[in-house]
Chains A and B, each alone.
Chain A
Amino acid sequence: MRILAVLLVALFLQSFTPARAESLVAGMSQNLVSIDATFVGSEILIFGAVKREAPIPEGEMGVVIVVEGPREAVTVRRKERRYGIYLNAESMDFYSAPSFYAVASSGPLDEVLSELENVARRITVDRAVWGWASADSPEEEEFASALIRLREDSGLFAESADNVTFKQKTLFDTAIELPANLTEGIYIAQIFLTREGSIVAEYGTLVQVRKVGLERFLYNLAQDQPFAYAMLSLAIAIAAGYIASAAFVFFSRS
């Protein structure tokens, strides 16, 4: 099922890479991010080149790189003062918010990417979260910006201009920081080449983020066989309690 999804996404990404005067080739430092017991976050290096079969065209060039994590439904809640205490009052559901979203670009985003392309392709963080044109009400916009702010604070959302270094108008590279609190799943990396703000070429690839080893075993056990998992937790607790008590008796005798 998961492999099928990967293939479909890969096909989909392939399909919008038409043959043009310029095209992109890229690679990255890792296609698999493993979450193990000592995972404290990671970094993906994305590097690539602009392939040309004609002289360099006119127009200011830019590169925008987007890495997006699996989308999930989230609820944003706001605390308000009710009955003299602060408690969660208003809330808003986002049915499909990215769990991770990083944008890196070779220059200020409003310079390398036109507003039109951004709206159409939902590239910047606010567009990705707040997909459709603009907020319906200031209230909804407040919740959307709170979602973005909270995720930015925890390193899950990032937007950085000038983070893509360009060499000889051909080679480019960037580093995307992945924090420790990543959601497992398929991450999509997209690279856009722009001229005067319009997208002229793009390239897409996938990164898998998954728990490995003991972390994977325990997580799966907790999800698939919760009763067995509970028994394992209890067995460990009872054993620890027994050992502690036995050790106490041993040490108080000696």
Chain B
Amino acid sequence: MQIYLPIAEISVNAFLLLGLGGMVGILSGMFGVGGGFLLTPLLFFIGISPAVAVATGTNQIVASSFSGVLAHLKRKTVDLKMGCVLLGGGLVGSALGVQLFAYLTSIGQVDLLVTLAYVVFLGIIGALMLIESLGAILRTRGGRTPAPKRRKHGWVHALPLKMKFRTSGLYISAIPPILVGMMVGVLAAIMGVGGGFIMVPAMIYILGMPTKVVVGTSLFQIIFVAAFTTTMHATTSRTVDIVLALLLIVGGVIGAQIGTRIGIRIKAEQTRILLALLVVGVCLNLAMDLLVRPSEPYSITVEAN
């Protein structure tokens, strides 16, 4: 069934979009990631312009992270205070990112920025995950258990503006969380992602938050950053396609429920290595666009009047 998207102004198969949303939903349910980093490139592949794909992607993230955070709130695994501090940085970052996105759209370099951002971040994250999960499998085969990590007192603890984060059991400066939030906010705006895949490692390794509150807190702040980014994209570039978003959301929420069930059945190391391979695969695919001579070097942009 073909459906005409009012903002993207193209006709696409509705079942293809439901399927895409569903597939990404399954993956996000299985691995506990938002899936924006997969959805946005997939939208490029089916011919949706980067501007519409990124802006609509952020709208879809609002739905999936809201659905996720409700479960975490019930289990009390959300550090609301930390979430608000991260959010403060996130809103500033998102505003900057949207301006950068609009500027680069006007000079025709937005595709490059988005592709580069994807290649760099997916490359780094994917490689790290692959090394880590391979290491974990080797360790379990060898029968050794990893040595427990000691809390480090690094540069994070030497900064001023200290705050007490009761739920996380931390007493640290507000500056690192604000900076982390800001960086993720910029990425959310230019990549059309929630940024959980950067936020979660940053919370564990830079801020030293306990693992059990990381996902809930990350989801909590992603809802607001994604909602803010959607509003900014809708008011500056007017590229949020509500029909496209709705189809992706419906597919996504159903997929997420299926994915969660699959996720429970398979082993953690196996899922991590699968996710790592997936991330590296998307990264290489996008990198090819930059490195291989394009079959059609020309492109047309209609100037907004």
Contact = CB atoms under 8 A, between A and B. Distances in A.
B11 A76 contact: no
A40 B11 contact: yes
Given A37-B3, A240-B253, A241-B63, A72 B305 contact: yes
B24 to A, nearest CB: 14
Nearest to B291: A85
Contacts of B298: 76-79, 143, 146-147, 149-150
A194 B60 CA distance: 56
Interface string A231-246: 1111011101111110
A32 interface: no
Size bin of chain A's contact surface: 35 or more
A176 B2 CA distance: 21
Given A40-B11, A218-B243, A234-B230, A73 B294 contact: no
A77 B70 contact: no
B145 interface: no
Interface string A205-242: 00000010011101100110011011111101110111
Contact of A234 (B62, B68, B70, B260): B62
A195 interface: no
A17 interface: no
Nearest to B116: A85
B240 interface: yes
B291 A248 contact: no
A86 B109 CA distance: 11
Nearest to B301: A75
B4 A241 contact: no
Contacts of A233: 59, 230, 234, 240, 242, 245
A37 to B, nearest CB: 6
Given A180-B11, A233-B240, A88 B109 contact: yes
Interface residues of B, number: 57
A250 to B, nearest CB: 11
Contact of B303 (A41, A73, A242): A73
A230 B4 contact: no
Contacts of A170: none
Nearest to A248: B257
A5 B7 CA distance: 25
B296 A150 contact: yes
Contact of B302 (A74, A218, A226, A238): A74
Given A37-B4, A222-B234, A242 B300 contact: no
A229 B240 contact: yes
Contacts of A74: 300-303
B111 interface: yes
B108 A86 contact: no
A12 interface: no
A80 B240 CA distance: 30
A10 interface: no
A248 to B, nearest CB: 6
A223 B305 CA distance: 12
B133 interface: no
Interface string B57-72: 0011011111110110
A15 interface: no
A237 B108 contact: no
Contact of B299 (A39, A40, A88, A248): A88
B185 to A, nearest CB: 17
Contact of B234 (A75, A78, A226): A226
Closest 10 CB pairs of A and B: A241-B66, A244-B253, A230-B234, A146-B298, A180-B11, A241-B67, A237-B63, A237-B62, A230-B231, A73-B303
12 contacts: A35-B4, A37-B3, A74-B300, A88-B112, A93-B303, A150-B299, A183-B302, A214-B6, A222-B242, A227-B235, A234-B227, A244-B257
